[in-house]
Amino acid sequence: MTAANFVKVNAVAAGVAEIRTEIQRARDNLNYYGKKTMFFIDEIHALKRGAQQDCLLEAVEKGEVILVGATTENPYFALNGALLSRSRIFQLQELTEDDLRRLLQRALTDEIKGLGMYKVKLAEEAARHFINMSGGDARNLLNALELAVLSTAPAEDGFRHITLEVAEDSAQQRYIRYDKTGDNHYDVISAFIKSIRGSDPDAALHYYARMTVAGEDQRFIVRRLMVHAAEDIGMADPQAMLIAQAAWHALETVGMPEARIPIAQCIIYLATAPKSNSVLCAVDSALADVKNKKIGRVPPHLRDTHYQGAKSLGHTGYRYPHDFPGHYVAQQYMPDELQGTVYYRPGDQGKERLIKNSPDKFLKE
């Protein structure tokens, strides 16, 4: 339809030199013969950021090639922004159950490209199993079906009977749609953390199981638990950080699969713990002030006095809290420019309720 040359390159095997050679050939065809080139790159995510992706950019900008890339990864993670900004993204969704069922029927009746040359009777529960284990992927469905048909001998009636037992033998493990570097990885870990934050231990355990069965690095999971313990629970239950640290220690000392138990205990503890993001808000507010505001100098009475001549510089007047009743004394700690600034605002959940209701000396409003 485009009357263009069609050039296919597999990014897994191609190098910069090959890509540049094809681009130069496309440039020559356009300049000398007025003929465009459609440049199809399969597995485009395999092109390294930098030289391999950058060498395409100029040709795309000048219209010397029509670039079409195919990838099973999320292009927003795999490709650089300059290339993405000049592209239109089409997302192909996984097949629905109805799609997969039609595909099964077509495969069993097509005598040229399918399995129609065999007499097959597919039990309904076997069909459901094939559809369920495929994860919406037609290739997984057809591979399992083909194995079931070819490995089943004809019965006395001449038919190959594909029962649920046969289907389960042909697809022994359910296909888990999950890749460790693409959008499935980020979607599942996002759902995992949001389930814990939303205090749903059952959903959190489901996503943990999904990651574990798919082979996710357990250290990545536990690192996220440690961050979550501070970010979404924090001072509402300081014990949460220790539980997460204990899960890490168990993973390092015991290993999998036994470590799944203390990790699951940590997940349940965090999901059922009181929630507070006051620590996150406090530290981010402090960082923002340091970056964006005039922060002034350290008050003189708080400066280091462990050197000769400190008194002559006026670095005196610090009041040692342990010398006062209750081990507390009112004095200025903030720089002059930030006096009255409040970063930490306790919530009303868990142990933070005690901090919030403590004497005014601990809080500045």
Dihedral of CA atoms 88, 94, 98, 103 in degrees, nearest 10, equals 90
Q: Grade residue 183 by pLDDT with cuts at 50, 70 and 90.
A: low
Closest C-alpha to 124, from 158, 156, 161: 161
Q: Which residue has the tokens 């592209």?
A: 87
pLDDT band at 333 (very low <50, low <70, confident <90, very high): confident
Class of domain 5-85: alpha beta
pLDDT of amino acid 364: 45
Better-scored residue on pLDDT, 248 or 342: 248
**End-to-end CA distance of the chain, in Å?**
70
Q: What is the three-class DSSP state of 269?
A: helix
**pLDDT score for 361:** 46
Alpha carbon distance 42, 14 (integer Å): 10
Q: Which CATH number fits domain 295-362: 3.40.35.10, 1.10.3710.10, 3.20.20.210, 1.10.10.10?
A: 1.10.3710.10
Give percent of the chain above pLDDT 70: 91
pLDDT tens-digit readout, 217-274:
899 999 999 999 999 999 999 999 999 999 999 998 888 889 999 999 999 999 999 9
pLDDT, residue 176, reads 56
pLDDT band at 162 (very low <50, low <70, confident <90, very high): very high
* Nearest alpha carbon to residue 56 among 70, 73, 39: 39
**Amino acid letter for position 183:** D
Q: Report how far residue 365's alpha carbon sits from residue 362's, in angstroms, rounded to the nearest whole number.
A: 10
Mean pLDDT taken over the chain: 86
Domain 97-170 has CATH 1.10.8.60: yes
The structural domains of the chain, with segments of one domain joined by +, span 5-85, 97-170, 183-272, 295-362
Rounded Cα distance between 317 and 314, Å, is 8
| Cross-sheet strand order for the sheet of 66-70 | 5-10, 37-42, 66-70
| Domain boundaries 183-272, corresponding CATH code | 1.20.272.10
The tens digit of pLDDT for each residue in 305-332 reads 765 555 655 556 788 888 888 888 888 8
103 Cβ contact partners less than 8 Å away, ≥ 6 residues apart: 95, 138, 141, 142
pLDDT for res 365: 40
Residue 316's pLDDT is what?
65
Two structure tokens written together for 337: 């420019």
pLDDT at 215: 78
- 45-98: per-residue pLDDT in tens? 888 777 778 888 888 888 888 999 998 777 877 788 888 888 898 988 788 889
Q: In this predicted structure, what is the pLDDT of residue 315?
A: 54
User: Cα dist. 291→177, 284, 346 in Å?
Assistant: 42, 11, 24
> Can you list the positions of beta strands (E) in the chain?
5-10, 37-42, 66-70, 120-122, 160-162
Q: What is the pLDDT of residue 161?
A: 94
Question: Does residue 194 carry a pLDDT above 90?
Answer: yes
Rg of the chain in Å (alpha carbons): 31
What phi, psi does 39 have (nearest 5°)?
A: -105, 105
180: pLDDT strictly greater than 60: no
